[in-house]
Chain A
Amino acid sequence: MRKLSIGSRLYLVIVFFILYAPIFYLIYYSFNSGGSMNEFESFTLEHYKAVFEDSRLIVILINTVIIALLSGLIATVIGTLGAIGIVSIKDKKMRNTLLSLNNVLIVSPDVVIGASFLILFTMIGVKLGFASVLVSHVAFSVPIVVLMVLPKLLEMNTSLIDAARDLGASKKDVLTRVILPYIQPGIFAGFFLALTYSLDDFAVTFFVTGNGFSTLSVEIYSMARAGITLTINAISGLVFLVTVLVVIGYYYFNNRAKLKNGEVRR
């Protein structure tokens, strides 16, 4: 490859700077003993302490994580089974219909999803709160799992299944010992994306959450509407740390999986 010119390097540097500056700005002022994001008085950890001492905030954090993990897990099961089901459909028209229905929630604006789910839950009589938020998160995570698993299934050589059947494997064996291990990276990626969707979601949750229940995004929104609180900055610091750790963890796992499959040869 040719070397990048000075101009294009500079361009990239500026883009990276703009992308990261707001995040580091937040984290920098999370250590500020003054109450604002304008003048740095002195170093303090009091805002981090405030986060951990605020039991309401801790409950919200735990809620957010539980919702993300549970919805990710359920969506991964439904999505993976759905993807296997879609592949088994021979009728091309029906397969395409299912696939376009699958994409509806991915491209739909959050507000529309949130509003329509609000109507749905009110009609069925689901109480707004933990259950409605969990169900909505499962609902909008399923299609992304399907999209992650589907390519893996399509690239799978079907003679593997025939071979397993010929060698006397039961249908269950085929699923658990042939198909699932093969599509495992897709499942893993789907679960991971479902997690990030859930953690990042604000609009849908905002619509379907009741008075008593809140996730981190909704809480930050109401805090930010009230003005600047350095507690939010401390939360950003923690969120950034967790994000970076998750990214590193994801890469570590991915590389190990690749090494195990012999895809990476050095």
Chain B
Amino acid sequence: MFNKASKGSLLPYVIWIALFVIAPIALVVYYSMLDLKGNFTLENYQAFFTPVYLKMTLTSFWYAFLITAFTLLIAYPTAYFLTKTTHKHLWLMLIIIPSWINLLLKTYAFIGLFGLYGPINAIVEVFGLEPQQILFTDFSFIFVSVYIFIPFMIIPIFNSLDKLNPTLVYAARDLGASSFTTFRRVIFPLTIDGVKSGIQVTFIPALSLFMITRLIAGNQVITLGTAIEQQFLVSQNWGMGSTIAVFLIIIMVVIMSVTGGQKKGGRIR
């Protein structure tokens, strides 16, 4: 195996883990128990369990759920069709390129696209409808978020579809399964890992997005991320901000344990 001397190379890495993984989490937990004056208190947690924050958490969840669901609905067929194209890796590359364009720029594009005099409203007018404000609505927020997350959802699903042995599909078809049954009983279960990691990379960021809500939804939509940003950078209430962050971390751990793990071994059925 690798010799013992290479253990010395661990040192900077372990320092990194201590400073930037363990310390920040500990600090967030510590700050969540401080009030504005720096006194030790559980007030923040009490505040979190008031209807205001609970409602915000629920709506944030609802938005994240909708965003993830729509993203999955669009991304899965895309990934599936992509694996059937002749130059599939080239096409995948073309899907990935937009994800490398700065997030802010893509979001900014929608300020113009969805504007009152923008192209979308111009199309609406052609159909004889009144132009309406699309910006600052739930719809615009969900649309832009889905747009941003589509490539990130396609990549893991594409990879798991790509690994799928096509003979399994042929076998199912030969044995008389309809294409829908083949999909439901063979293709989908075998690519569930890709779907799970796609959900991971969509749902957690969707809970915590704050620039899209600020730029596109104009404070109409408040997610957990917006609330944290608000508390930290606007109200300067780091204690409350940390408390929300603690809950976000807990939610993250729960989602990770639901969608992760058990990659080995057969299905139990």
Task: Report whether B108 and A26 are in contact in the complex, using a CB–CB cutoff of 8 Å.
Answer: yes
Q: Are B228 and A12 closer than 8 Å at their CB atoms?
A: no
CB pair B97–A247 under 8 Å, yes or no, is yes
Interface centre among A84, A111, A235 (most CB of B within 10 A): A111
Q: 1/0 per position for A187-214, CB-CB distance to B under 8 A?
A: 0000000001001101100110000000
Q: Which of B102, B147, B204 contacts A200 (CB 8 A)?
A: B102
Whether A115 contacts B28 in the complex (CB less than 8 A), given A11-B78, A20-B98, A161-B3, comes out as yes
- In the complex, what's the smallest C-beta–C-beta distance from B101 to chain A, in angstroms? 6
A167 interface residue (CB < 8 Å to B): no
Q: A2-B84, A243-B100, A247-B93 are in contact. Are A85 and B108 (CB under 8 A)?
A: no
Stretch from A48-56, A118-126, A258-266 contacting the other chain: A118-126
Closest A residue to B77 by CB, please name it. A11
- Report whether A158 and B13 are in contact in the complex, using a CB–CB cutoff of 8 Å: no
Cβ contact within 8 Å between B102 and A216: yes
Interface assignment of A133: CB less than 8 Å from any CB of chain B = no
Would you give the 0/1 interface string for B66-88, flagging 1 where the beta carbon is closer than 8 Å to chain A?
A: 00000000100110011011100
Number of A-B pairs whose CB atoms are under 8 Å? 249
A65 within 8 A of B: no
Q: Does B9 contact A (CB under 8 A)?
A: yes
Could you say which residues of chain A place their CB within 8 Å of the CB of B200?
107
Check if B20 sits within 8 Å of A139, measured CB to CB. Answer: yes
Cβ of B7 < 8 Å from any Cβ of A?
yes
B97 touches A243 (CB 8 A): yes
**Is B107's CB under 8 angstroms from A224's CB?**
yes
Question: Is the beta-carbon distance between A224 and B9 smaller than 8 angstroms?
Answer: no
A109/B106 contact (C-beta < 8 A), A23-B98, A78-B16, A225-B215 known? no
Cβ A81 vs Cβ B12 within 8 A: yes
- Residue A134 interfacial (CB < 8 Å): no
A86 to B106 alpha-carbon distance, docked (Å): 38
* Contact code string B84-125 (vs A, CB < 8 Å = 1, else 0): 111000010111011011111111111111010111001000
Query: Is B205's CB under 8 angstroms from A110's CB?
Result: yes
Interface residues of B in 1-20 (CB under 8 A from A): 1-14, 16-17, 19-20
In the complex, which residues of chain A have a beta carbon less than 8 angstroms from the beta carbon of B122? 38
- Residues of A with C-beta under 8 A to B129: none
Q: Give the residues from 228 to 252 in chain B that come closer than 8 angstroms, CB to CB, to chain A.
A: 228-229, 232-233, 238, 241-242, 245, 248-249, 252
Check B256 for interface membership: any CB of A closer than 8 A: yes
Size class of the B contact interface (CB-based, 8 Å): 35 or more
Contact of A102 among B17, B113, B225 (CB under 8 A): B17
The complex places the Cα of A243 from the Cα of B232 at a distance, in Å, of: 33
Residues of A close to B205: CB separation below 8 A: 109-110
- Are A15's CB and B109's CB within 8 A? no
Whole-angstrom distance from the CB of A144 to the nearest CB of chain B? Answer: 13
Q: Is A116 an interface residue (CB 8 A)?
A: yes
Q: B147: which of A11, A18, A158, A221 is its contact (CB, 8 Å)?
A: A18
Of B8, B85, B232, B245, which is within 8 A of A4 by CB? B85
A116 engages B245 (CB within 8 Å): yes
Q: How far is the CB of A187 from chain B (nearest CB, A)?
A: 13
Q: Which of A23, A78, A108, A224 contacts B13 (CB 8 A)?
A: A78
Residue of A nearest to B8 (CB): A85
Contacts A23-B109, A38-B117, A82-B12; A116 near B25 (Cβ below 8 A):
yes
Give the distance to chain A from B37, nearest Cβ to Cβ, in Å.
Answer: 16
Does B150 count as interface, using CB distance less than 8 angstroms?
Answer: yes
A239 engages B101 (CB within 8 Å): yes
* B9-48 interface code vs A (CB 8 A; 1 in, 0 out): 1111110110111111101100100000000000000000
In the complex, the chain B residue whose C-beta lies closest to that of A104 is B21
Are A25 and B112 in contact, CB atoms less than 8 angstroms apart? yes
Cβ-based interface call for B194 (8 A)? no
Q: Are B112 and A228 in contact (CB under 8 A)?
A: yes
Determine if A8 and B81 form an interchain contact, defined as CB atoms under 8 angstroms apart.
yes
Known A23-B101, A37-B115, A88-B6; further 16 A-B contacts with Cβ < 8 A: A19-B151, A23-B106, A37-B113, A37-B118, A85-B6, A85-B13, A88-B1, A111-B228, A112-B28, A119-B31, A139-B16, A146-B13, A174-B3, A207-B232, A224-B111, A236-B109
27 A-B Cβ contacts within 8 A?
Answer: A12-B81, A23-B105, A26-B109, A36-B112, A37-B113, A85-B7, A85-B8, A85-B11, A86-B13, A101-B17, A109-B208, A111-B229, A111-B245, A112-B252, A115-B228, A115-B232, A115-B238, A119-B24, A119-B28, A120-B19, A139-B16, A200-B103, A206-B211, A206-B229, A207-B233, A235-B105, A251-B93
The 5 closest A-B pairs by CB, nearest first: A82-B13, A85-B10, A109-B208, A116-B24, A37-B112
